[in-house]
Amino acid sequence: MGVLVLGGAGYIGSHAVDQLIHRGYDVVVVDNLGTGHKAAVNNNAKFYEGDIRDKAFLENVFNNENIEGVFHFCAYSLVGESVEKPLSYFNNNVNGLQVLLEVMYDHEVAHIVFSSTAAVYGEPDSVPITEDDSKTPTSPYGESKLMMEKMMHWSHEAYGVNYAALRYFNVAGAKEDGTIGEDHRPETHLIPIVLQVALGQRDELTVFGDDYDTEDGSCIRDYLHVVDLIDAHILAFQHLKNGGESGAFNLGSSQGYSVFEILEAARKVTGKTINAVVGERRAGDPSKLIASSNKAQQILGWKPKHDDIHDIIGSAWQWHEKHPNGYQEE
């Protein structure tokens, strides 16, 4: 029996494929290569290029392969872009999941591990954020992920589809040997942008606001190593297979770092100066976002192994130094 990884050519998906193969799973990958890179996919995985919204294509994959569970990483995920193109996000994310759930139901595939987001919470009630906190997304991206969680919940109630929705904030780092890593175009994530400055690919980092109600005035965020993130996804799949209860789980290091702390850690790791300037605040940026991972630790037995920010940045730096132009695909 195999597992299907949707979006397996992307940053997080490719690390999932790699770790699943190293743990002995037969892995099938579906990716439309809209933002993913074929070069990121482990050669031992079976690859299908296509879009999950294409029901005939997806039916063909399920007919050809013996699939016992699905890992879903194939959503559009840029908050700012989602505000400009909400219908595109609902079409890809919500419609894509509907097609998937229909095909899973037709083929009696009962387990799905869903890569959700802490954006479902919007402005947090309190910090650290727990799974029961109110969910008022402030972007179409967060709204689409919350809708997807609800679709899985009702499919669980009606059809017995078991699901784990994993909510997290900022993922960073790369596989320890530096063979796969993060390559977004354009790049929007803080740590790779900082490292692009270190590589001389950008002149400076813009820190969006230094007057927040935090110790150094910059925003504080939770950072999670991609390897730990995938470990949680695999534990969630095993939890479902063992008859565990469906539901949502927060993932995070439970420790926040400010933008200035990330900058200083990157300077230490890289030995580079890394110029930075302070700019205006971005609309809708909360001052502090940290997730409580107690539920995932207690129920899934998950414990992050790479919670030192220097380790996270160090693995990312190794990837960026070896691959300054990413996967170099034209």
Residues annotated as catalytic (active site), given as ranges: 141
User: What are the CA-CA distances from residue 16 to residues 117, 214, 229 (Å)?
Assistant: 17, 34, 9
Task: Identify which of 137, 114, 112, 118 has the alpha carbon closest to the alpha carbon of residue 250.
Answer: 118
**Cβ within 8 Å of residue 96, ≥6 positions away:** 51, 52, 53, 74, 75
Q: What are 246's two structure tokens?
A: 């469906």
Angle between helices 190-198 and 259-270 (to 10 degrees): 40
Q: Is the peptide bond before 186 cis (omega within 30 degrees of 0)?
A: yes
CA–CA distance, 263 with 198 (Å, rounded to integer): 10
CA–CA distance, 287 with 275 (Å, rounded to integer): 23
**Cβ within 8 Å of residue 325, ≥6 positions away:** none
Q: Is the peptide bond before 304 cis (omega within 30 degrees of 0)?
A: no
Residue 108: Cβ within 10 Å count: 10
**Cβ within 8 Å of residue 113, ≥6 positions away:** 69, 70, 71, 72, 163, 164, 166, 233, 236, 237, 240
Beta strand segments in the chain, E: 2-6, 26-31, 46-49, 67-72, 111-115, 162-168, 170-172, 205-208, 220-225, 247-251, 256-258, 276-279, 288-289
Q: What are 48's two structure tokens?
A: 């299908």
